[in-house]
A and B are shown apart, each in its own frame.
Chain A
């Protein structure tokens, strides 16, 4: 089993749709969780950290379920500019493990 797994994608959705990404991790000792976005051939950039109580930033909501070792990202009212690959990231001690990413295409 991979240490961090994500929905295989790609997700093709119309503008304005709500889309949810799922991520599972295998290391129960992990303490830090993040969602990054990566545009084609560019560097990853932090979208949001994920906190135990869940957190929201505008149209983006992240949830963490430690018992199930599951992280989610919800994007509401999707925009064309949300088209990117979304990476789930989990720490393993002092290492960071990236999921393979889920590609999102928002269509006009």
Chain B
């Protein structure tokens, strides 16, 4: 089954304790992305990757890191989490349709993170 998986689905942690949220897709997609969703603010893009070893900042990258060592995986790293990073996080992937146009994004089920 074609899918995007994220782990963990729920996480409660404390300020400053490094954590990693994993994301994996089995559709051989080039494009992968991380979003956070907050009430009243909608989904905001954190980082994205056009392919292996290619990552770029989205609109809200501060406090986050990513890596893309393999095509299927795109982990999100919070080196020193803070309470303002409490949010619902989504990973997504997409096959690139044309240079100037992008295909459907497939989203993972989300990770609900609480930083105390």
The answer to whether A and B come from one shared complex is yes
Asked if A65 is at the interface (CB within 8 A of a chain B CB), the reply is no
Q: When chains A and B are docked, how far (Å) is the Cα of A41 from the Cα of B45?
A: 18
Contact among B43, B50, B100, B110 for A98, CB-based, below 8 A:
B43
Asked if B33 is at the interface (CB within 8 A of a chain A CB), the reply is yes
Contact among A44, A97, A99, A100 for B45, CB-based, below 8 A:
A97
The prevalent SS among residues of B at the interface is: strand
Residues of chain B within 8 A (CB-CB) of A31 are 100-101
Residues of chain B within 8 A (CB-CB) of A99 are 42
Asked if A94 is at the interface (CB within 8 A of a chain B CB), the reply is yes
A76-97 interface mask toward B, CB cutoff 8 Å, 1 = contact, 0 = none?
A: 0000000000010001001111
Asked if B109 is at the interface (CB within 8 A of a chain A CB), the reply is yes
User: Quick check: B43 and A44 within 8 Å, CB to CB?
Assistant: yes
The distance from the CB of A43 to the nearest CB of chain B, in whole angstroms, is 4
Q: When chains A and B are docked, how far (Å) is the Cα of A46 from the Cα of B41?
A: 20
Q: How many A residues face the partner with a CB closer than 8 A?
A: 20
| Size category, B interface | 20 to 34
Residues of chain B within 8 A (CB-CB) of A45 are 107
**Contact A87:B43 (CB < 8 A) given known A94-B56, A95-B48, A95-B59:** yes
User: Quick check: A94 and B50 within 8 Å, CB to CB?
Assistant: yes
Q: When chains A and B are docked, how far (Å) is the Cα of A45 from the Cα of B59?
A: 21
Q: When chains A and B are docked, how far (Å) is the Cα of A61 from the Cα of B25?
A: 30
User: Quick check: A100 and B101 within 8 Å, CB to CB?
Assistant: no
Asked if A27 is at the interface (CB within 8 A of a chain B CB), the reply is no
**Contact A87:B42 (CB < 8 A) given known A42-B109, A43-B110, A95-B59:** yes
